[in-house]
Amino acid sequence: MNKKEIELLAPAKNLEQGKIAINYGADAVYIGATLFSARQAAGNSLQDIEQLALYAHRYNAKVFAAVNTLLKDDEIESANKLCHQLYQLGVDALIIQDFGLLELGMPDIPIHASTQMHNYNIDYIKFLENIGISRAILAREMSLEQIKNVSQSTKLELEAFVFGALCVSFSGRCNFSQVYKGRSGNRGECAQLCRMKYNLMDDKGRYIDKDKYILSLKDMDNSDYIPQLIQSGICSFKIEGRLKDSVYIKNICSYIRKKIDMYLNNNPEYIKSSNGNTEIAFVPDPYKSFNRGLSNYFLLGRNEGLRNELTPKSLGKRLGKISSIEKDRIIIDTNEKIVNGDGLCLFVDSELIGFYVNKVVDNKVKIAEGINFKKGQIIYRNNDLEFEKFLSNDKSIRKIAVDIRIEFIAEGINIYINNNYNHQYIKSVILEFEKAQNQESAKNNIIKQFNKTGDSIFRINQIIIDNNVEMPHIPISELNKIRRELFEDFSNYILSEYKRENGREIKSDTYPEKNLDYSYNVINRYAEQFLKRCNVEQIEYGLEVNTLKKDIKLMTTKMCLKYEYGLCPKYSGKSLNSSEILYLEDKINRYALEFDCKNCEMIIKTDV
C-alpha cells in the first residue's frame, strides 16, 4: 500500500536555525535568500542555503526557498536568475507570489503558490493546478469544510498553517502599510499597522470602543485538529516564524512533531516524509514561547475570542492569580516554580506591564516598584528563565537508527550497514591482525566502540558480529577510525541516493476573472503578459507602482468588527441605531469600514 506522506514544515531564519528545525522534528524548512523573500530581516547567502540543503537531504528532509515578493520590472529578471541558482544549489521547491516568474520560465522544480496569492476558493486553486503549480499554501482563514471541498476538487498538494502569528487581512490583500508608510507587505516591508491602537466609532461620532488594539489578532494554534486536517486533505503543516529565535523553533517544532506523530502512530496509511527521530529532554509548551494568546481562528467556522485588544505583545503562560499582598511581596497562587530572572507581566488599567523577578521565595515575589498590584490580578510569565536556558543549551541531534553486521575475512573486515529507509552500504577494510587472546573481550570491545555514534546522524539499533572466524585484536584507535569513516561514508551514500522531485510543466489556462483591479497585485509587465495569456482582459497595476488617490481598499478581513462587538444582524439579531457605517480612527487618520455580508467579510478603506 502506498502511504501518504505528512510533512511538518518549519521556518529557517538562517542556516543554523534551519538545522535546528530539522533536528527538532521538521520534515522540511523554508528559507529566504538575500533578496525577494518577503522577510527583509531573514535573508541568507546562497552558500548557506546550499549547506542547509546538504544537511536536510541526509534525513530525506526538504528545503523550500521563498522568492515570494511582488517584483517590479527592473527586479524580475534578477529574481528569475535567483530561482535558477537556487535550483542548481539543491533546493526542493520555490515559493512564489508573482506570476511574472512563470512567464520568464522556471527551472524543473516544484512551484508552491504562496499564501499571498490568496489561495482561498476552489476555482482559483484549480487554476493554479492547471497552470502547473505543485502546491497551494492555503489561506489561514479557511475552515475544515472549505479545505475538504478544495481537496476533493484538486490533486494539488495542500499546505496549511498550523501555528504562529496571524495577519488580520487576507494575506496578499493588505495595502495598509503601503498606503500610509510606503512599505509594501507584499514586498516584505510590512509596518504592522494592524498592531496599533485605534478607536471604533459610528457615523454620528459615538465611540463603540476607544484606545484599543482593535485589529490585533491572537496567534494561531490548530495543532489539536491535525487529525481532522489530515483527513481533509492537508499534507503539510506550516509553522509561521522566520524571525523567531532558536528557542521558539526547538519548542514549537517539538510540540507540533509530537502532535503529528500521535496521529501517524495510530494510522499506518500515513507516514512522515523524512527520516530519523530526535529524543527531546523537555516537555514542549507553546505558551512558553512568544504568543499573544492562542486561537483556532476560522478552522471551525466563525467564533469569538480571535483578538487580543489589550496588547500586541507576548503574554506567555498564565501562572495564576495574586492571592495576597504583603508589605513588599505578592503571593501568587500557582503550581509553577518561579525563579529569579523570570519575566512576569499583568494587566494594569488595561495596559500590559512587565517586570523581572529579582527575589522570590515559595512563590512570594518581591514587588517591583511603580506597579499597582491588586489581589486577584492574573499573572503571566512571558520569560521562563529555566526553560529558556535549558533549550538554549540543548544540542539534540536527529538520529537515524542503523543495523551493523561485521564480517571478518582473510583480507580484513566487511561491514554491512543499513537503515529502515532502504539504504544499504558495504564498507571493506583491508587489515592484517592477530588473533585476540581473549575472544569475548575482543568482541565486546568492537561492539562498544561501534556504539559510540557521537555527533553523527546515526543511532545504533543492533550490532551483529559473524563468528565464522576467530576474533582479531584491533587497537581502539583503529576501531574508532574505521567507525568514523563508516558513518561518514554511509552519510555521503545516503546523500548521493537523494532524489529531488521534478516540477510540472508551466502553461496557461483561463483565469477565473476577466478584470483585475489593483488588489490583484500585478506590478510588472511579465505578470501582465502571463495573465493576459490566461484570458484576463483588463489589468490595473498594484499600488507599489500605481498611485491611487482615494477610496482604496486597505485590507480585506474575515475578522468582522460587527461580529466582534455584537452588532452583526445575522448572529446577534441586533443592528446599529444609525446607518450601517462604522469607522476606525487613530491619532491622524480615519478609515471607513464596509461589510460584505454575503461573503461574511469586512473591508477597511481610506475615508473619502
Residue with cell 503539510: 236
The CATH fold assigned to 316-393 is Thrombin, subunit H (2.40.10)
- Does pLDDT of 277 surpass 50? yes
Q: How confident is the model at residue 171 (pLDDT cuts 50, 70, 90)?
A: very high
Q: What is the pLDDT of residues 9-32, one digit of tens each?
A: 999 999 999 999 999 999 999 999
pLDDT number for residue 431: 83
Q: Residue 430: in which H helix or E strand, if any? A: strand 424-430
- Does pLDDT of 267 surpass 80? yes
What is the mean predicted confidence (pLDDT) over 418-433?
Answer: 92
pLDDT number for residue 409: 84
Three-state SS letters, 195-216: HCCEEEEECCCCEEEEEECCCC
What is the mean predicted confidence (pLDDT) over 455-465?
Answer: 95
pLDDT number for residue 577: 44
CA 419 to chain centre: 29
Residues of the chain with CATH 2.40.10: 316-393
pLDDT number for residue 402: 98
- For the CA atoms of 485, 488, 492, 495, the dihedral, rounded to the nearest 10 degrees, stands at 150
Q: How confident is the model at residue 569 (pLDDT cuts 50, 70, 90)?
A: confident
pTM, entire model = 0.95
pLDDT number for residue 450: 96
Strand-strand pairing, 198-202 and 582-585:
antiparallel
Q: What is the pLDDT of residues 310-324, one digit of tens each?
A: 999 999 999 999 999
What is the distance between the alpha carbons of residues 363 and 507, in angstroms, rounded to a whole number? 65
- Does pLDDT of 190 surpass 80? yes
More confident residue, 480 or 550: 480
Q: Residue 247: in which H helix or E strand, if any? A: helix 246-265
With a CB cutoff of 8 Å and minimum separation 6, the contacts of 124 are 118, 512
Q: Which CATH superfamily is domain 4-166+218-288 in?
A: Aldolase class I (3.20.20.70)
With a CB cutoff of 8 Å and minimum separation 6, the contacts of 596 are 602, 603
pLDDT number for residue 393: 97
Q: What is the pLDDT of residues 126-138, one digit of tens each?
A: 999 999 999 999 9
What is the distance between the alpha carbons of residues 310 and 347, in angstroms, rounded to a whole number? 8
With a CB cutoff of 8 Å and minimum separation 6, the contacts of 37 are 31, 43, 65, 66, 67, 68, 69, 188
Of 37-41, 566-570, 581-585, minimum mean pLDDT range: 37-41
Strand-strand pairing, 157-164 and 135-137:
parallel
Q: List the one residue out of 583, 589, 600, 595 whose CA is nearest residue 200.
A: 583
Residues of the chain with CATH 3.20.20.70: 4-166+218-288
- Does pLDDT of 506 surpass 80? yes
Q: How confident is the model at residue 42 (pLDDT cuts 50, 70, 90)?
A: low
